[in-house]
Chains A and B, each alone.
Chain A
């Protein structure tokens, strides 16, 4: 009994292409515009290798025009009430649903993915995303009070989920009040263009959404454009790295959703037949061209043989064929270049000694098809176990214990997603937080919903798409930066004008003090014994501190990594320790104030105010330590989706120059309140407030390694931290050039950065503390837990 062909008609899609003469223009300022570049390129259906359309290769003038259109539309769009934007987004959702079948067929023709997936997954999720974000537009004024849209957003999306990525990018951006220039992938531009047409039909004001087509050159023009305020990119880690470097120091907000090599962990008490279907959904979904594909199968050794036998039996039943056939499991690979990459890596896997298995049936020979492939006997260090293949290729490895499973899962530069299969809730909920990944699916995989944030840890990028956490990527604090700066300047002026009280001369000299580094809970001698003199504004020599170097940073990072257990301390415990630091600091208020005054010459009153503010700030984060809750997202599964705020890990912090105590405390306290361990570089000119803290920390029960302090050249040490591959995030507060350097260097391991060179009024709690800092100190992990017996 064979299935026979079950083709979905492509007539409407062909008619639509024909209506455009199978040749498109750019969509900017609300209408189709001829590309100034005068260049076009072909769009190929990978299942037939036939050309189905031509689209423009946007050049510099085209990008400029699109950005200008978005800029012109920004005041009007961002000035609309949330309710008005909600109506537009609601209309877009409805339009997508009305055109659902055309979009599904077009997507399948353009990308090669099966009509089943575009019809049942991609397009419904697109509509869902616009509905969900219509809601955020409606609620923005109340739920994101104090935040404002970023401005003109450049969005660059990949070819694996062309229209779904349009939705993931455009919906939150527009909801928040931004205007957009979108560049779809060169392999798959058609549904984005169809969407542009839909947008026009929905009456979206001209310039709010602009769609320009082109290859990486167009993307680079958009990334480099000076009038773009944010870049949102989904694609390879390689390109993400280039974008990170290109935007360094530009002040552009950045979110990156990059590659992955996600683990799929199977414990011996799992429902193995369901696991098999899970694997199908994990790696043979969309031909394995999924950034969060469960491509590394980690199986408990006791069930490995059985599972592999079941998998092979299942693979025999998979059907690869024409994507528009309604009864196939896998369609075509997007392009020859991708097919070659898959073939090359599979060959490499065989050469490296792994056992390859493919079903007995043959793929169609016309078009770019590749069969489902399973590798066993794979060593964790093998190329195919480390490199993202982005094809229907699964590598299987076995483990002995849950601990080993977690280690194998985490031994990758990536951290996008993970899937955990067990019927033991204790085991599932123990393992999920230990996996370095932005999404963890328990007994399910590749489940998405607009209400839940999606995004990675580590080299899988940063930022989230979907849910409340995703909205923050398109917002910035509505700080009146002008007034903040004015206040700070005024205060500095007053300070300078305050009459200085001369220090009374003492008949006996003070006891000489040696300031070392504070590493691993002890005062450690600097690696190189070169002192750095700290002088008062009047030129008087105040003290000497250690001149930290690379090795001191190395040691501090090691100490911070070793103290990771801090993340597992209860919020209560972390809060108690922060209170204790505050208490011990408060008892030494006079001494700290005198030190600050001596260093900065701010005057005793201002110095005292700074210490008081630092004590208050410590109280703030002691309070937050057990209150920065996650969320339970109402997604579309029967179950719970837990959005947990997790610490990022080892955090590098370069404190601002001004307000040497308060600035330092304002950054270190939120970082440790949520469970990070830190390597902090204090104000370069005025480090003594921080070095005096050593003894406060020592008496406050701060576990060794949670706070490490290295003094010296702030910018040089920041660069070392930003370069360090075992530092998970870097905050830099200082000058623009060094901030740019930090952002550029962070591309090494794609660590998250928070680099700022604008003046901030640290004394003002609205600017100097609160959720903004806690968000920067955490990353959201979404854990999907379906239930039901």
Chain B
């Protein structure tokens, strides 16, 4: 594609953020990707050392991080009780006295979404009614994604029916491991159709994909099939969101934007527990993709305990005293 055309397309699209309609599968493009693991790891290692934010800038960045959180509970012992508490926290993620001290009460700080299993979609939808906060449902046989295909599509439709506005699906990792990008593309495309108007986040399960090259190729196939977000992990794999994986996926988002003009969002999930870690992800987004990826429309942090640590850091900034977790309860 001509570089000029690409830029024009990129400009046109960034002016109208919306969904990724997907494009026909281009297998050559999927396979052409080259990822040098050592070089990627070197880049990832310097993301936290080349940039940092301090004092009021850090407080501002942390508040922004809060607005990008998909506040999540995906435990086998979830009950309506803890889901309801989570929803309450989603609406008021930062203690009011802290927001006042920060002069941020008017900013309407809430998290980006609440993410639950299908069973608790109605609970969360009811709890969040009127807040404008969307409910996201993990779906398609989360976390392994090995349920029968029709059931996985049915699960998506059921969650949408129940009021979920965002669907986090898992891919069949076997497709990626076998290099069957056509199968992966068809699968995600079907998920996308089943979503209807709900936004589609595609979890690659990067900890299962063995190589960064597979991560890059799976990212490309998923975006071509119409993923609105690509997401690292379920939180259930042995290795979850890591910066090297983030570097690879964000670079693929950039490539896809250059090639097609469609902007895709990114969601790291799993293992993000510290405020410092959240800032590193934000820095990665700013450096590799740009400021437009520092908003919930294009960036989510899949997390729960993270919020506690962010609040603690905010309290420290406000009071100058180190805080304790029990002062910022999640549950």
A3 and B51 form a contact (CB under 8 A): yes
Q: Does A423 contact B (CB under 8 A)?
A: yes
Which residues from B are CB-within-8-Å of A421? 36
B42 and A277 form a contact (CB under 8 A): yes
Given contacts A1-B64, A273-B251, contact A6 B37 (CB under 8 A): no
Q: Does B61 contact A (CB under 8 A)?
A: yes
A2 and B57 form a contact (CB under 8 A): yes
A443 and B50 form a contact (CB under 8 A): no
Q: Does B92 contact A (CB under 8 A)?
A: no
Number of A-B contacts (CB under 8 A): 80
Given contacts A1-B294, A3-B57, A305-B3, contact A788 B52 (CB under 8 A): no
Nearest A-chain residue to B288, judged by Cβ: A273
Given contacts A4-B57, A789-B211, contact A637 B50 (CB under 8 A): no
Instruction: Return B258 CB to nearest CB of chain A, in Å.
Output: 9
Instruction: Return B304 CB to nearest CB of chain A, in Å.
Output: 24
How far apart are the CA atoms of A324 and B41 in the complex, in Å?
Answer: 25
Q: Does A278 contact B (CB under 8 A)?
A: yes
Which residues from A are CB-within-8-Å of B321? none
Q: Does A638 contact B (CB under 8 A)?
A: yes
Binary flags per residue of B25-59, CB closer than 8 Å to A gives 1, else 0 = 00000000011111111110000011111111100
A277 and B39 form a contact (CB under 8 A): yes
Which residues from A are CB-within-8-Å of B211? 789
How far apart are the CA atoms of A271 and B56 in the complex, in Å?
Answer: 37
Which residues from B are CB-within-8-Å of A638? 38
Nearest B-chain residue to A3, judged by Cβ: B53
Nearest B-chain residue to A306, judged by Cβ: B3
Binary flags per residue of A313-331, CB closer than 8 Å to B gives 1, else 0 = 0000100000000110100
Nearest B-chain residue to A309, judged by Cβ: B3
A317 and B54 form a contact (CB under 8 A): no
Q: Does B286 contact A (CB under 8 A)?
A: yes
Q: Does B8 contact A (CB under 8 A)?
A: no
Q: Does A15 contact B (CB under 8 A)?
A: no
B37 and A789 form a contact (CB under 8 A): yes
Which residues from B are CB-within-8-Å of A6? 52-54, 57
Q: Does B197 contact A (CB under 8 A)?
A: no
Contact residue among B39, B54, B57 (Cβ-Cβ distance under 8 Å from A443)? B39
B39 and A327 form a contact (CB under 8 A): no
B40 and A274 form a contact (CB under 8 A): yes
Interface size on B, residues (CB 8 A): 32
B61 and A1 form a contact (CB under 8 A): yes
Q: Does A574 contact B (CB under 8 A)?
A: no
Which residues from B are CB-within-8-Å of A281? 42
Given contacts A1-B291, A326-B52, A327-B50, contact A788 B37 (CB under 8 A): yes
B57 and A788 form a contact (CB under 8 A): no
Q: Does A651 contact B (CB under 8 A)?
A: no
How far apart are the CA atoms of A423 and B211 in the complex, in Å?
Answer: 14
Contact residue among B39, B287, B294 (Cβ-Cβ distance under 8 Å from A278)? B39
Interface residues of B in 46-94 (CB under 8 A from A): 49-57, 60-61, 64
Name the residue in A4, A120, A423 with the highest tally of chain B Cβ atoms < 10 Å from its Cβ.
A4
Q: Does A203 contact B (CB under 8 A)?
A: no
Instruction: Return A586 CB to nearest CB of chain B, in Å.
Output: 53
A4 and B39 form a contact (CB under 8 A): no
Which residues from B are CB-within-8-Å of A3? 51-53, 57
Q: Does A116 contact B (CB under 8 A)?
A: yes
Which residues from A are CB-within-8-Å of B213? 789
Nearest A-chain residue to B212, judged by Cβ: A789
B291 and A443 form a contact (CB under 8 A): no
How far apart are the CA atoms of A270 and B38 in the complex, in Å?
Answer: 13
Binary flags per residue of B108-126, CB closer than 8 Å to A gives 1, else 0 = 0000000000000000000
Which residues from A are CB-within-8-Å of B51? 3, 327
Q: How large is the interface on A (under 10, 10 to 19, 20 to 34, 35 or more residues)?
A: 35 or more
Which residues from B are CB-within-8-Å of A309? 3
Q: Does A444 contact B (CB under 8 A)?
A: yes
Which residues from A are CB-within-8-Å of B35? 271, 274
Q: Does A701 contact B (CB under 8 A)?
A: no
A327 and B38 form a contact (CB under 8 A): no
Instruction: Return A433 CB to nearest CB of chain B, in Å.
Output: 21
Instruction: Return A637 CB to nearest CB of chain B, in Å.
Output: 7
Interface residues of B in 274-296 (CB under 8 A from A): 282, 286-287, 291, 294
Instruction: Return A753 CB to nearest CB of chain B, in Å.
Output: 39
A787 and B3 form a contact (CB under 8 A): no
How far apart are the CA atoms of A367 and B234 in the complex, in Å?
Answer: 49
Interface residues of A in 254-307 (CB under 8 A from B): 269-275, 277-278, 281, 305-306
Q: Does A5 contact B (CB under 8 A)?
A: yes
A1 and B49 form a contact (CB under 8 A): no
Instruction: Return B124 CB to nearest CB of chain A, in Å.
Output: 29
How far apart are the CA atoms of A129 and B55 in the complex, in Å?
Answer: 36
How far apart are the CA atoms of A277 and B41 in the complex, in Å?
Answer: 11
Which residues from B are CB-within-8-Å of A274? 35-36, 39-40, 43
How far apart are the CA atoms of A4 and B317 in the complex, in Å?
Answer: 16
Given contacts A1-B64, A6-B52, contact A271 B57 (CB under 8 A): no
Instruction: Return B107 CB to nearest CB of chain A, in Å.
Output: 14
A423 and B34 form a contact (CB under 8 A): yes
How far apart are the CA atoms of A281 and B42 in the complex, in Å?
Answer: 10
B38 and A786 form a contact (CB under 8 A): yes
Given contacts A270-B34, A271-B36, contact A4 B42 (CB under 8 A): no
Interface residues of A in 442-501 (CB under 8 A from B): 443-444
How far apart are the CA atoms of A787 and B37 in the complex, in Å?
Answer: 8
Binary flags per residue of A634-661, CB closer than 8 Å to B gives 1, else 0 = 0001110000000000000000000000
A271 and B49 form a contact (CB under 8 A): no
B43 and A277 form a contact (CB under 8 A): yes
A contact residues vs B (CB 8 Å cutoff)? 1-6, 116, 120, 269-275, 277-278, 281, 305-306, 309, 317, 326-327, 329, 421, 423, 443-444, 637-639, 786-789
Known: A6-B57, A421-B36. 16 other contacts (CB 8 A): A1-B64, A2-B57, A3-B53, A120-B49, A269-B34, A270-B36, A271-B40, A274-B40, A306-B3, A326-B52, A327-B51, A423-B34, A444-B39, A786-B39, A789-B37, A789-B211
B contact residues vs A (CB 8 Å cutoff)? 3, 34-43, 49-57, 60-61, 64, 211-213, 251, 282, 286-287, 291, 294
CB pairs A–B below 8 angstroms (26 shown): A1-B61, A1-B286, A2-B57, A3-B53, A4-B55, A4-B56, A5-B57, A270-B36, A271-B35, A271-B39, A271-B40, A274-B36, A277-B43, A278-B39, A281-B42, A305-B3, A317-B287, A327-B50, A327-B53, A329-B50, A443-B36, A444-B38, A638-B38, A786-B39, A787-B38, A789-B213
